[in-house]
Every structure is written in structure tokens, then in C-alpha cells.
Amino acid sequence: MWQGDYLYLIENLILKDFRVRYRNMSLGMLWSLVNPLVMMGVLTFVFTRVFSNNAIPHYPVFVLCGMIPFNFFSIAWTSGTTSIIDNAGLVKRVPVPREIVPITTVLANCVHLLVQIALLLLLVFYFYGSNRQWIWLPLVWGLEVVFVSGLALLSSAVNVYIRDTRYIVESANTVLFWLVPIIYDSAIVPQKYSGFYEINPLAALVLTLRRILLQAEGPDGPTHTLWKFAGVSVAVFVFGLLFFHRMKPRFYEHI
Amino acid sequence: MNISDERPAILFHGVWKSFARHAGQMLIRDRLKQLLKPHAHDLFHALRDVTFSIHPGESVAVIGHNGAGKSTLLNLTTNLCRPDRGSIAVNGRVAALLELGSGFHPDLTGAENVCINAALLGFSRRQVRAKFDEIVSFAELAEVINEPLRTYSTGMMMRLAFSVAVSVNPDILIIDEVLGVGDLSFQAKCLERIRQFRLAGKTMLCVSHSNETLRELCDQAIWLDHGHLVEYGPIARVVEAYKHAVSLQAACSSS
């Protein structure tokens, strides 16, 4: 059994990832902002100039509100999926609890998320001002981290046995970009498809964020999206942990 | 008073361990094939019915040809993998000098790598602070400790890894082929540190292809051949028997 200081280990692994990524970049943390800003610019051009659209005010802020949670979800899930294989040296040589590997990979991405949230809040504050529903934001973002960690535990364990898993995850992310209301308003979705948006946890997340930030309304709304999302996140995390625990004894032989 | 004196430090009872030879068979296609033909597994038996017990304070060498199961035996002891059959009991805190520096990253400084490696070995922040100077001075790297690891020579890197590993104060020390570290004076220092472990009554399990080193450090030896335990006893006798067998084999194959 590995007996040690879990928090200190997690902190060190996150710092490692962070330093490795930024030490060789002259712009450092600014790179976390460049990607969402470029995407925001391109999407705004396409959806306000190419397709003219005046229904959504402050389209750049609107689109950023969907993109930032989605980007974090997609990058954290993809890198979490391959984390056990990417850290094979660690998993095969050091008897640390394996759960640490996908979870720290997800947490390491939170550093970028924080920078991007700061950008988002700044823009929202400039165009809409702040409101007291903002106190729900830490809970909403926290639930997203829990949700992604659960998915990463699941898919990283499967990826050890079936290496195609990462490609399935990457494709799923591409599909999700269009099926989550990032570039459009979920209100325009025809009634017969709205059921899908009701059960899509990522759509719930984006809707909740927009309700808080852009409409200054309570997070829950008439359809209780926040509490459904909370339930799904915790359930996915617990299931992910149990599944990972079942699969991990034979990781060693398959890496 | 000391309970562990009555219990063996390491106990293997009828241990079997096999690995499936499945190089490159990690894709969905291969998994489907296995489902259709479940008995097509090609197994490699690394350990076959191995039973022995090591008492606290004994130092034991593991000898045998390449692929005899030496590393598998060490990895089972450190709980990196589990046996197929049989049972293993380990009493006391284990520290393994397996593949030194497996958590090292070339872009980080020596100091940062020390912290990560120490955290992987189970250190807390306070323990790292207390031992940091000792680790660096033992490695004789005080002047370059804030330089990136990629500027170090292989020997310097190994010295640093060894220093971190021996700063753990384990009950059971596991050493896998790492005694050829650094230059001659550093090797002498390593051997001295390991001798101190022995004098302090710690249990040791060593793998090395240098019979002289083993004879100097160990009093017992386990001889493995194709996963079978051939002999377990005083080191002089077992090494002689092993050498005899090897020379006999060489004579047979040359004639």
C-alpha cells in the first residue's frame, strides 16, 4: 500500500504539468486566452456577418459563455482518457494510487479554465454588469470538474484495455460541439428535438451559466437544470471511481 | 516488543504470475477476436509456484538469467501487480529503487524534480523541506540544482534519483540493478549508505548482475530459473550453484 501525502502529491503533479507546458512559451499564460479569443472572433464573424443574425445581443460574450465550459470539458476529457497510458512510466514503477493520474490530469487543466473564466467574467461585467446570482458560479464550475473527472476515470480505464477509446472520445467531442447550444440559442431548437437537450448534461451546464451571467436569473430555472446536472455529475463521478477501482488491478499487465 | 520480529518481512506462498503475450493487441478488433475465441491466449509464466519467507533484518539477493522472473518478483513485492494464484504478505514500509527517476522531467529543474519524486515516494511537504538539503548534498549537485534536468549528464541525473530514493526511511528496501550509478566515488557512497541500512536492521531485496556487489551486500540468495525457485539459502552456496549451472549450460551449448 502506498502511504503518503495525497494533497502534496496532487499539488506537485499539477505544478509539474503547468511548468512543463509554460516554461518554453514566451507568452506563458496568455496562450490560454489566445485560443478562446480567436475562436470567439471567428465565430462572431461567421454568425453575425456571414449569416446575419440580430436576435442575440452581444454575440461574442454569448458564444464565449458556451465555449469556455465546452473547451475545458473537451480538453480535460481527452487528456484524461489517455492519462494512464501517457504516464505509463509512473503507473508501472510507482505504487501510487492510480486514481490520482486521471484526476490530476483534469485538475491541471483547471489552471487554464480559471484564466478563461476571469476573461469571461470581465467581458460579462463590462456588457451586463454583475448580479448576485454570481455566488452560484463556483458551484456550477465545481460540478463541471466533478463531471469531467468521473468521465475521465471511466474512459482512462477503458483506454488501457482498448486503445481506440481515445478516438471515440475525440469524435464524441466533435459531435458534442454542435449538439451543445454553444453557437446558437437553445430556444431556437424545434420542440421535437428539445428532449435531447433536456438530458444532455453539457447543454444543462451552458444553459445554467447563461441564465446566471446573461439573464441575471437564478441558476435552477423552471426545469431544474442545475439540480439535474448536480445529480448526474455526482453519479458519473461515483460510477467512474467504482469502475476504475474494478479495472485497475490489471493495468500493469496491459500497459 | 517488536511484533515484526515474529512475522516474516516478506512472505510468498505458492505464487504464480503470468502475462499474456499481446503485443499490439489492444484494439477493438483484437478484443472482439478474443471474445469469439476466448482460449487463444498465449501466456508467459513469469513465476511458477514460488514460496519463500524473508525475516526482518535479512538481506536477500535474487539471481537468475534474463527473463527468469526477478523483476516480476520485485514488482509483486512492491504491490505494482497482483499474483494470479498464491498469496503475498509484506510487513513494513517498502521503498523501491526501481528504475530510478521514473517521474523525472527534463524541462524541470533539479529542485522541482526532487519535490515531485519525493512526493511520489510518499513524502509530505514538511518531510521534503527537512530532507531537501541532505538530498542535494548527498548527490553533490548543490551548484546546479536550479538548472533544468536536461543540462545534467546521465550520471548526475542518476545520482539525484538515488539520493531521493535513499532518503526515504523504509523498513524494506528493494534495489533493482541500480548500483552501477555514477562514478566510482559515488558508487562507493551508495554502497556505504546501503550498508548502513543493513546495520540498522532493515530488510533488503536486491537484483544485480554483479556477483561481487551482491556478495558484499547480501547474506541470502534466491535463484530463479524460468520462474521456478531453484534454491534459497546462504549466498555463497547459491551463487556457486548458479555459476556451476551456467558454465555447464555454456559447455553443453558449445559442444
How far apart (Å, rounded) are the C-alpha atoms in residues A234 and A107? 16
Interchain pair A254, B26: CB under 8 A: yes
Is residue A1 in some structural domain? no
Q: What average pLDDT score do residues B57-81 get?
A: 89
Among A70-79, A235-244, B175-184, B210-219, the range scoring the smallest mean pLDDT is B175-184
- The residue of chain B nearest to residue A13, with distances taken between CA atoms, is B116
Is A175 part of the contact surface with chain B (CB cutoff 8 Å)?
no
pLDDT tens per residue, range A147-161: 999 999 999 999 998
Q: Given CA atoms A62, A106, A149, B24 in this order, what sign does their dihedral have?
A: positive
- CA of A154: how far to CAs of A10, A78, A99, A162, B117, in Å? 19, 12, 10, 12, 27
Given A3, A16, A95, which is nearest B78 (Cβ)?
A95
Instruction: Report how far residue A200's alpha carbon sits from residue A189's, in angstroms, rounded to the nearest whole number.
Output: 14
Paired residues of B63 in beta bridges? B223
The predicted complex's ipTM stands at 0.81
Q: How far apart are CA B253 and CA B248, in angstroms?
A: 9
What is the pLDDT at residue B27?
74
**What's the pLDDT at B3?**
47
Containing domain of residue A189, as a range?
Answer: 6-254
One-letter amino acid identity for B236?
A
Query: pLDDT band for position A240 (50/70/90)?
Result: very high
Average pLDDT over residues B103-132: 89
Give the minimum alpha-carbon distance from A143 to chain B in angstroms, rounded to a whole number: 28
**pLDDT over threshold 90, residue A21:** no
Domain for residue A33, yes or no? yes
Length, in residues, of chain B? 255
CA atoms of B191 and B55, how far apart (whole Å): 22
Residue A19, domain member (yes or no): yes
Find the distance separating the first CA and the last CA of chain A, reported in whole Å.
20
Q: Which three cell numbers stand for residue A89?
A: 512510466
pLDDT score recorded for residue B169: 78
- List % helix, strand, coil for chain A (3-state, nearest 5): 80, 0, 20
Closest CB from B99, B112, B125 relative to A93: B99
Q: Residue A108: its pLDDT value, please?
A: 92
To the question of pTM greater than 0.90 for the whole model, the response is no
CB B15 within 8 A of CB B86: yes
Residue A134, pLDDT > 70, answer yes
Strand-pair partners of B203: B172
Nearest to B217 by CA among B244, B247, B187: B187
* Cα–Cα distance measured from residue B16 to residue B43, given in angstroms and rounded to the nearest whole number: 12
Between CA A196 and CA A63 the distance in angstroms is 21
Task: Give the residue among B202, B203, B206, B205 at the shortest CA–CA distance from B177.
Answer: B206
The sheet carrying B228-234 orders its strands as B94-97, B172-176, B203-207, B59-63, B220-225, B228-234
Task: Say how far apart CA B223 and CA B211 lie, in whole Å.
Answer: 12
pLDDT value of residue B41: 63
Report the gap between the CA of A95 and the closest CA in chain B (Å).
5
Report the greatest alpha carbon distance in chain B.
63
Q: Could you identify the residue written with the cell 492510480?
A: A98
User: Is A7 a residue whose pLDDT tops 80?
Assistant: yes
Q: Do B122 and A2 touch (CB under 8 A)?
A: yes
Asked if A249 reaches chain B (Cβ–Cβ under 8 Å), the answer is: yes
Are A24 and B107 within 8 A, CB to CB? yes
Nearest to A148 by CA among A226, A88, A210, A69: A69
| For range A231-244, the mean pLDDT | 96
* Cβ separation B108–A96 shorter than 8 A: no
pLDDT at B5 over 60: no
Is the residue at A237 inside a domain? yes
Do the Cβ atoms of B119 and A9 come within 8 Å?
yes
- Domains contained in chain A, number: 1
Residue A26 has pLDDT above 70, yes or no: no
pLDDT for residue B1: 41
Nearest to A1 among B79, B112, B121 (CB): B79
Residues of B in contact with A2 (CB under 8 A): 122
- B250 in contact with A, Cβ within 8 Å: no
pLDDT tens figures, A45-98 = 988 888 877 778 889 999 999 999 999 999 999 999 999 999 888 888 888 889
For residue B244, the distance in angstroms to the closest alpha carbon of chain A comes to 33
Scanning B23-42 for CB atoms below 8 A from A yields: 26-28, 31
Examine the pLDDT at B25 and tell me if it is beyond 70.
no
SS3 (DSSP) at A51: coil
Instruction: Tell me the Cα Rg of chain A.
Output: 19
Top residue of A94, A101, A251, A254 to mutate, by most chain B CBs within 10 Å, is A94
- The closest alpha carbon to A72, from A83, A64, A61, belongs to A64
Q: What is the mean predicted confidence (pLDDT) over B8-36?
A: 78
Task: Name the residue in chain B with its Cα closest to that of A168.
Answer: B28
| Amino acid symbol at B205 | L
Residue A149 located in a structural domain: yes
For residue B4, the model assigns a pLDDT of 45
